[in-house]
Amino acid sequence: MDQKAFFQKLVSFATSVHQVTNEMTKDIKSDDITLVQYGILQYIAVSQPVTLSEISDCQRISMPNTSREIKKLCEKKLCEKVTDPQDRRKQYIRLSRDGEVLMNEDFNRMEAIFLKRIQGASDKEMDEIGRALDLLHTKVFYVDAR
Amino acid sequence: MDQKAFFQKLVSFATSVHQVTNEMTKDIKSDDITLVQYGILQYIAVSQPVTLSEISDCQRISMPNTSREIKKLCEKKLCEKVTDPQDRRKQYIRLSRDGEVLMNEDFNRMEAIFLKRIQGASDKEMDEIGRALDLLHTKVFYVDAR
DNA sequence: TCTTTTGTTTATCATTTGATAAGTAAAAGG
DNA sequence: CCTTTTACTTATCAAATGATAAACAAAAGA
């Protein structure tokens, strides 16, 4: 396969992943949280504990705006701030109990949708899918260490 | 592998794809187009010609707002409306010359980033990645026919 | 100790976005 | 024809978001 075709395959794949996951989050947007806030919560869920700076970096939201959104999320009791005892400038953010519950619900809903999509696959196919995920995750869609 | 672990792998993979592609588009946001508008342009690029209703459906933007954003994009000369001669209510949207140029630049930039990520992979590995992409694209991250 | 740097906050403002109500024009259906 | 449906548009308003300036307190460095 020539290189151009290969990259088109990659780009079109990434686009599809976006479309599929967007479709999943459409129903989710449960409470009165916005999409930006949902994105932040997801990031916290997979990377906690995180500092405000890390959220700002990874979600591409300026520090002042990150601070504002986290404040709102804390007011909604979905996450909590903990001051680092070693460096009292730092604030570690974690999901609160309620936040954990919310995110778990959402992940379960995503699971259900994925399950629907791959229902009918044999054990062998599931294995292949698992290996394909590992391969792409490590070789192409790895996330830089922070 | 148990089912729970399998889905966690899927979710974490989808999250990584999001993070990686978000990182790509951060530099892109070249002209004075917003992220929403960029999303619309990307959708047009891969699916053109599209109607306003299709954009509205797939991007989850209400018709009035879709209409407004397309109007802005047309004013910026990035896309064009063509009335369907068969059904004069329908408006087909396509990228304009400038729009094609813009999207090509962006796709090339994405290609370059992907290339950097998989540089050093042997032909055999490239083949494996290609097959993994096909597998996941058809079995898991397929996009429903419209 | 004094200055600089780092991590975060507050405040303010313009712009973008989302939601809704009310419209137009063309096609489809009776 | 006349009514209904479809595809889209215009207008308006509140809310969310992005960008910027200015502040603060703690830590690091001179």
CA–CA dist B40, B18 (Å, integer): 17
d(C-alpha B125, C-alpha B138), whole Å: 20
Strand D close residues, chain B 65-94, CB < 7 angstroms: 65-68, 70-71, 81, 87, 89-91
| Residue A81 contacts strand C, CB under 7 A | yes
**Cis peptide upstream of residue B85 (ω within 30 degrees of 0):** no
Least confident of A52-56, B118-122, B128-132: B118-122
Q: Quick check: A83 CB within 7 A of strand C?
A: no
Q: How many CB pairs under 8 A join A and B?
A: 134
A78-89 pLDDT, tens digit per residue, is 999 999 999 999
Which ranges in chain A belong to alpha helices (H)?
Answer: 3-28, 35-47, 52-59, 63-75, 97-118, 123-139
Q: What is the CATH number assigned to the segment(s) B27-113?
A: 1.10.10.10
When comparing pLDDT for B4 and B72, which is higher?
A: B72
Left, alpha or beta for A84 (phi > 0: left; psi -120 to 50: alpha)? beta
Q: Which fold has domain A30-111?
A: Arc Repressor Mutant, subunit A (1.10.10)
- Other Cβ atoms closer than 10 A to B33: 19
Report the protein residue whose CA lies nearest the C1' of nucleotide D26.
A89
Distances (CA, A) of A144 to A1, A21, A137, B25, B132: 28, 22, 12, 16, 21
Contacts of A110 in chain B (CB under 8 A): 7, 11, 14
Calculate the average pLDDT of chain B.
88
Tell if B65 CB is < 7 Å from nucleic strand C. Answer: yes
CA distances from A49 to A71, A90, A99, A142, B82 (A): 16, 11, 13, 20, 51
Domain boundaries, chain A: 30-111
d(CA B113, CA B96): 26
- Contact between A70 and A93 under an 8 Å Cβ cutoff? The reply is yes
How confident is the model over A103-127, as pLDDT tens digits?
888 888 888 888 888 888 888 988 9
Does the structure show a pLDDT above 50 at B111? yes
Encode pLDDT of A24-79 as tens digits. Answer: 776 666 668 898 999 999 999 988 899 999 999 888 899 999 999 999 999 999 99
State percent of chain B over pLDDT 90: 50
A8-22, B78-92, B117-131: the lowest-pLDDT one: A8-22
- Helix extents (H) in B29-96: 35-47, 52-59, 63-75
Test mutation, B1, B18, B142, chain A, max A CBs within 10 A: B18
Strand C footprint nucleotides (protein C-beta < 7 Å): 6-12, 16-22, 25-28
Q: How far is CA B9 from CA A94, B3, B82, in A?
A: 22, 10, 44
pLDDT of the residue at A146:
43
Q: Which residue is nearest to nucleotide C25 (CA to C1')?
A: B89
